[in-house]
Structure 1
Amino acid sequence: MTSLIDVIFLLLLFFMLSSTFTRFAEIELRAGGSDGGATRGEVLFVQLGETALTVNGQTADLDTLPDFLRAQERGARLIVSLSDDASAQRLSDLLVALAAFPDLPVTVLGDA
């Protein structure tokens, strides 16, 4: 007869080899860099809350944000400020929406 530890080891080995490890979604994060302090173009300020989203003081939502950003000049920079009630999922959704603009540098402000 086979000992119980051998059976457990074989089951563990089978499940490890038959499972796949995929990433369902990825958000590319870039490290903050120094551009010499020069600000080129317009600076857009986004305030992100759990239900609210404002861009330079104008109310927006995640569906209309790409249209709003396309209307801005090239070379604009985006600063995102999180309110206390903003969740990590809400920030993820915003960063996914901003991924359509690879030339738009995004800076997320956070607590130190």
Structure 2
Amino acid sequence: MSLTSLIDVIFLLLLFFMLTTSFNREAAIAFNMAGIADTHSLETVSLQTTLLVQVSGDILRLEQDIITIEALLAMLQQTEQGIVLLSFDDSVNAQTLVELMARIGQVKGWQPRLVEAF
């Protein structure tokens, strides 16, 4: 029994997976959990403006009022800096959450953070 043909098949599979694997690095968003921090960053959080936004499906709530993403971004641009705490339930898909975090992160001085689901 010859192992040459088996080695050839393994080499071809290895070559196939190496060529089909994407080496492009996707844009990354840092997922900072608000509850996981050292005491120094907790002191910094208390000095900044903090907003709690509840996300359920495609609905955003700020202080129990339904708000659109455009209205939220406009409000953030009027304030200098702060942190937006995003609380979400099981009906929110990952794509919506990532897009929301990316758009909030583009507003100068504002940082999105994830908190436990409500």
TM-score by length of 2: 0.68
2:45 & 2:26 partners in 1: Cα distance? 37
Given candidates 43, 46, 55, the residue that maps to 2:53 is 46
Change (3 A) 1:99 1:77: closer
Q: Which residue of the partner structure matches residue 23 of structure 1?
A: 25
1:62 & 1:29 partners in 2: Cα distance? 19
Post-superposition offset of 1:38: 6.2
Q: Which residue of the partner structure matches residue 85 of structure 2?
A: 79
Q: Over aligned residues, Cα RMSD in angstroms?
A: 2.9
Indicate if the aligned counterparts of 1:41 and 1:75 stay in contact, CA closer than 8 A.
yes
Indicate if the aligned counterparts of 1:40 and 1:75 stay in contact, CA closer than 8 A.
no
> What is the aligned residue count?
110
- The answer to which structure has the higher helix fraction is 2
Q: Which runs of 5+ in 1 are unaligned?
A: none
Change (3 A) 1:38 1:66: closer
Moved over 4 A (4+): none
2:45 & 2:32 partners in 1: Cα distance? 19
Name the SS of the counterpart of 2:76 in structure 1.
helix
Q: Which amino acid aligns with 1:30?
A: N
1:102 & 1:30 partners in 2: Cα distance? 17
Amino-acid identity (%):
18
Q: Which residue of the partner structure matches residue 15 of structure 2?
A: 14
Indicate if the aligned counterparts of 1:41 and 1:77 stay in contact, CA closer than 8 A.
yes
